[in-house]
Structure 1
């Protein structure tokens, strides 16, 4: 049980896709202008990466290693198409807001990386937990960025007015440049906490 928790938790904390590995930053810059968009993208990626890890793990002994990458991409594209159809049918406004970035999930480095590095070498349950952890880490990061950008960029949170009429929102926070600056600070803060934690652990060992 401890080993399974370690597999799951590393994607949320130790190997967070955005704040630690700095992967799939394109959607973090483009669709995090609001919490709703960020959450939708995060959950979509969570579903795709978890499902793809399961499929890759199940077929790992069948797929020829020489063609594994195009096969994995086909798996991912199929799952992403399913997500697109669901969003278009039941959540058309969110589907339109995400636009082309939803289709770009197919080429997100983190999804193919987990299939190649982990799911292709492990059984179904560990592979699912690995995908779930990475997906949760991605979602938490996206929502955190989206919440800060929406709050500072419009004075609202989830569409509800938080700051009064006195608040003069800086336009840069709803632009990709603002997201780039914010992500840089958040990555720096994450590394700072990781370094301090490592020092405390080393001090405890001594």
Structure 2
């Protein structure tokens, strides 16, 4: 797999949210606004890139028996740095995200990439993998957060989009709204991918029939 495909796989083919269904706890909890999605996504991306690179560099020195605890310690170190930086420079946003920043430590996306990819691949590929998967996760959170914010309060990134007279659809800002929007987006993603594959399958059948 070339480096370009390695980077872009996290956007659609192996998107952490819409294809692999990983990281559902922060996905459903913090996407009440687009800005929350940006902050959580970028924080996760930084941790993912940092932990992927560190684990890739140390992969030959970490005994297999203790690899999971070692991965968690490495990930926790980056999460602590991000948590302290956000508390120092983005305090209001840090208060909104709350407990979900420390919970990045046990995010399935980060642990999964550490175990399945970074521990088996060199530095450059691990960096690109972490960056691609992290940005794919960030974009997904922004899409979810934007839809919920627009429908729930008529704003996006805090700016009024549907006018002052828009009646808030508050269920979109509650947990049921998160499940509804996520389910609709999952269905749309599956439909688009299935429709993209259908012509290839049809052409294969035509070629097989002609033989």
Please state how far the C-alpha of 1:200 moved relative to its aligned partner.
2.3
- Determine if the alignment matches structure 1 residue 57 to structure 2 residue 52: no
**SS of equivalent residue, structure 1 residue 99:** helix
Alpha-carbon distance in 2 for matches of 1:147, 1:82: 28
Aligned to 2:146: 147
For residues 64-143 of structure 1, what are the structure 2 equivalents within 5 Å?
64-143=63-142
Alpha-carbon distance in 1 for matches of 2:47, 2:94: 16
Alpha-carbon distance in 2 for matches of 1:201, 1:54: 37
Q: How many residue pairs align between the two structures? A: 205
- In structure 1, stretches of 5+ residues that fail to align are none
Please state how far the C-alpha of 1:42 moved relative to its aligned partner.
0.3
Q: Deviations 1:39-71 (Å, cap 9, x if unpaired)? A: 000000111111111001000000000000000
For residues 186-201 of structure 1, what are the structure 2 equivalents within 5 Å?
186-201=185-200
**SS of equivalent residue, structure 1 residue 12:** coil
Please state how far the C-alpha of 1:203 moved relative to its aligned partner.
3.4
Please state how far the C-alpha of 1:204 moved relative to its aligned partner.
4.5
Alpha-carbon distance in 2 for matches of 1:102, 1:165: 33
For residues 6-17 of structure 1, what are the structure 2 equivalents within 5 Å?
6-17=5-16
Alpha-carbon distance in 1 for matches of 2:30, 2:152: 14
**SS of equivalent residue, structure 1 residue 11:** coil
- In structure 2, stretches of 5+ residues that fail to align are none
CA RMSD, 1 decimal: 1.1
Aligned to 1:176: 175
**SS of equivalent residue, structure 2 residue 2:** helix
Q: Deviations 1:152-172 (Å, cap 9, x if unpaired)? A: 100111111111233212110
- Over 6 Å off, 4+ runs: none
Alpha-carbon distance in 2 for matches of 1:12, 1:86: 27
For residues 42-53 of structure 1, what are the structure 2 equivalents within 5 Å?
42-53=41-52
Alpha-carbon distance in 2 for matches of 1:26, 1:142: 12
Alpha-carbon distance in 1 for matches of 2:62, 2:47: 19
**SS of equivalent residue, structure 1 residue 183:** helix
